[in-house]
Structure 1
Amino acid sequence: MKKPYYLQSGSTIAVVSPSWGGPATFPHIYQQGIDNLVSLGFNVKPYPTATMDADTLFQNPKVRADDINAAFLDPEIDAIIATIGGSDSARILKYLDLETISQNPKLYMGYSDSTCLTTTLNQSGIVTFNGPSVMAGLAQLHNFDDNYQTYLKAFLTTNPAKRMLPTFSHFCHGYPDWENTKHTGLCHSFIKSRGPQVLQGNTQVTGRLFGGCIEVLEMLKGTNYWPATNFWQQKVLFLETSQEKPSVEYIRYWLRNYGVMGVFEQLSALLIGRPRDYSEHEQLLLEETVLNVVKEEFNNDQLVVIANLDFGHTDPQVILPLGIQCQVDPQHGSITLVEKVFNDR
């Protein structure tokens, strides 16, 4: 895996819109996200797609890819962060210059529909980052507690040989109506978390992180951007659901497909993010379903499975670096990155 350099005060972050044109629709939310990045000590360079209107972006997938290609080549740019997710970034993949990108590794971060980018770029040989976007996660940063703000900056600007990912005592499901400018940068009320739920496993395991939004990964199955059969060996697969709130039965079907492909028997661990807008009853049903598919349907009773983790479409969320070796400890429900995430400067 080729690693980007870690950031430092004054580093320049390119902002791009590989999916939906959210900034043009809700410019106040976008600007709050930019302001929060600046408050962390970074410079921001919006690329043309960052604020392009949604219709133009949808009609021009190549333009979106062109911005990403250019940002990876731009010597002024230290990192690239998506403005927000969407539903069709799979359409831009054929326009990406993967060879050039792989020779110029930089921090690329996003989640949700950015799963198309993070998984494809990761398979081309670079570490990518499943984490908050400008409008969803970063725009609300000042509403999260100091521990999270400190964690986020430290993750991006330091490079320890080992780091345990934090867990957060409270979380929120999304944001108030963005059409009301009074809601700029706000989250819904915070809820006490049940914490990591170890569904199966007794022994520490290690493997390389890979994954993202489960619905987006469904768009890639059967395409040239889907991993090869033996790719899954000793991977720690992480999956999370979007704000569309797919039913538990659909998740059962999608997981069953992984089972048919023989993925579960190759993995070191399976991690499930806290599902957005699920009631506690629905969360418990989801956890029961995950375990039923893995253990009962496909006889993988030794695979470490942990659910209700702090990544995905609830806030605050940890950053998961695809391609980095991690240790999963089912005794404590903890995840520790056991190699440096970045290149040293």
Structure 2
Amino acid sequence: MSAFVRPSRLSEGDTVAVLSPSWGGPSRFPHVFDLGLRNLESLFGLKVKEFPTARRDVDELYGDPKARAKDINAAFADPEVKAIFVSIGGDDSVRILPYLDLPTITANPKILMGYSDTTTLTTYLNQQGLVTFNGPTIMAGFAQMRHLPSDGVAHVRQMLIEPTEETEYRPYPVWANNYVDWNTPGYDGETAPQRPNEGPRWLQGTGVHAGPLFGGCIEVLEFLKATPFWPAPAFWDGKILFFETSEEKPTVDHVLRWLRNYGSAGVLERISGLLFGRARDYSDEEKEQLEAAILKVVTGEFGMQELPIVVNLDFGHTDLQWILPLGVKMEIDCGKKTLKLLEPTVV
């Protein structure tokens, strides 16, 4: 069992906090936000408690990082709240980290879930010893669940409500690259056309490797480098590191240079495995170029021929998403080509 503190599982009737630590998307697209809340209530039987930042105006929210941190602190302190789900991502939640009340947060471990810009929160609080969750947000993930295979609802239940001792990740049958324009009249959570899932790509590795999960959006992790919120060198030891790219579609060269930086910092030689989510908006040719760039850096430049590398996985900025619990031990079996959590995600 890893040393990270797991939060309590959710049960029907539990209250979840909803807030906006990054972009104030609910103020621009309230119908999408409301749709996500309705799905949270109807599909999982949860009660929603909106915190002050949840629907706050985009510009006001941007100008008030202290208020965003205050909501995070208050949600962890609130005995009624069993989990914290973010409305949507953004690009500046790194600004709220100095104002987090770490003693209160760590004394009250709870499910905290989001992705994209929420990487700042999930990775920083994971460094404080808490299991956190890289997964769907209210507006990007939950709002679309009724238009996606029911596997997504079952996965959320397995990860947050009905945990098992071990969990094998299996590819979803289909995936969607993005959503129908939220400005479309009558938008009801529709996605772009769903495509057959070609499954993961195993680029290299032999044997069985295991370690606690850690990672998030690769662009957002760049915001954290050289700040007090970046992991100490020893923190990387044994981790299974995961990256995903955002809807801004960083170039293959950008990803290559960022990955090279991890090698230069000594991270690649410390970790136990490397995972990449499906790259949103990349063509098949660009995905092949990305795979070649990853191998060029990891194997060609840093000589890590034995490091397992698996790409095109179901997490990140395409749907459906796997939920990845930071701090929970995963096993990569290169022979069987399986990814499996070796312990429960919640207690």
Q: Which amino acid aligns with 1:55?
A: D
The answer to whether the Cα contact below 8 Å between 1:19 and 1:113 also exists between their aligned partners in 2 is yes
Which residue in the other structure is 2:19 paired with? Answer: 16
Q: Which amino acid aligns with 1:93?
A: L
Match among 25, 29, 38 for residue 28 of structure 2: 25
Which residue in the other structure is 1:36 paired with? Answer: 39
Which residue in the other structure is 1:196 paired with? Answer: 200
The answer to whether residue 148 in structure 2 is matched with residue 135 in structure 1 is no
SS of match in other structure, 2:129: coil
What whole-Å deviation, never above 9, does each CA across 1:279-335 have from its counterpart, x for those lacking one? 111111101111111000111111000000000000000000000011012234321
The answer to whether residue 279 in structure 2 is matched with residue 251 in structure 1 is no
What whole-Å deviation, never above 9, does each CA across 1:194-240 have from its counterpart, x for those lacking one? 21100010111000000000000000000110000111110000000
* 1:144 CA displacement: 1.1
163-172 or 20-29, which deviates more: 163-172
Q: Which amino acid aligns with 1:111?
A: Y
The percentage of aligned residue pairs carrying the same residue is: 49
Q: Equivalent residues in 2 for 1:1-345 (5 A)? A: 1-39=4-42, 40-343=44-347
CA distance in 2, matches of 1:342, 1:154: 10
Please give the TM-score of this superposition, normalised by the length of structure 2: 0.97
* 1:153 CA displacement: 2.0
The answer to whether the Cα contact below 8 Å between 1:196 and 1:333 also exists between their aligned partners in 2 is no
- The gaps in structure 1 that reach 5 residues or longer are none
CA distance in 2, matches of 1:111, 1:82: 9
Q: Which amino acid aligns with 2:158?
A: A
SS of match in other structure, 2:274: strand
SS of match in other structure, 1:336: strand
225-234 or 212-221, which deviates more: 225-234
What whole-Å deviation, never above 9, does each CA across 1:101-135 have from its counterpart, x for those lacking one? 01100000000000000001111111000000000
Paired residues, number: 343
Detail structure 1 runs of 4+ shifted over 6 Å in the superposition. Answer: none
CA distance in 2, matches of 1:279, 1:340: 36
SS of match in other structure, 1:210: strand
The answer to whether the Cα contact below 8 Å between 1:197 and 1:333 also exists between their aligned partners in 2 is no
CA distance in 2, matches of 1:44, 1:300: 46
The answer to whether the Cα contact below 8 Å between 2:159 and 2:345 also exists between their aligned partners in 1 is no
Q: Which amino acid aligns with 2:344?
A: K
220-229 or 187-196, which deviates more: 187-196
97-106 or 145-154, which deviates more: 145-154
CA distance in 2, matches of 1:98, 1:154: 28
Q: Which amino acid aligns with 2:289?
A: L
CA distance in 2, matches of 1:213, 1:205: 23
Seen in structure 2, the aligned counterparts of structure 1 residues 253 and 11 have a Cα distance that, compared at 3 Å, is same
* 1:159 CA displacement: 2.3
CA distance in 1, matches of 2:186, 2:262: 43
